[in-house]
Amino acid sequence: MMAQSELQHYRQQLLNLANRLDGDRSQLKDEALQPVGGEATGGLSNYPVHQADVGGRNFDEEVTLGLLHNEEHLLEEINAALSRIDQGTFGVCADCRRPVRKERLHALPYARFCVSCSRAREE
């Protein structure tokens, strides 16, 4: 069982990470929703943009949407970790029920699984 001070440290670390991701998500949403056309390029006319520019913009949009999806998934993991703190199960592997090493929690405070179980799930 973890000391209350350790749990508070992890809670703060998770909240800080969530706040940073919220800011990143807002920026990514703004980038993904930019219009394509004369006004988006800063030009005064509304002439169509070259097809290659549209293709590049579509690629950039797909990358941005992929990043946004990853950050939303990470926020879900952070919220789940905060719930585990509240439920008293934080730092316990969801598979084998053994403690998750503190080095792992320091690097990934939202980790659900110990290293062994995480590797087994990846295979």
* pLDDT by 10s per residue, the chain, length 123: 789 999 999 999 999 999 999 887 767 666 666 655 544 555 444 555 556 555 666 677 777 777 788 889 999 999 999 999 999 999 999 999 999 999 999 999 999 999 999 999 999
Residue 112 CA to residue 90 CA, distance in Å, equals 8
In this structure, are residues 94 and 64 in contact, taking their beta carbons and an 8 Å threshold?
no
Residue 94 CA to residue 90 CA, distance in Å, equals 9
Report field, pTM of the whole predicted structure over 0.95: no
Largest CA distance in the chain: 65
Domains and CATH numbers, the chain: 4-90 (1.20.120.910), 91-123 (no CATH)
Closest CA to 82 of 1, 8, 11: 11
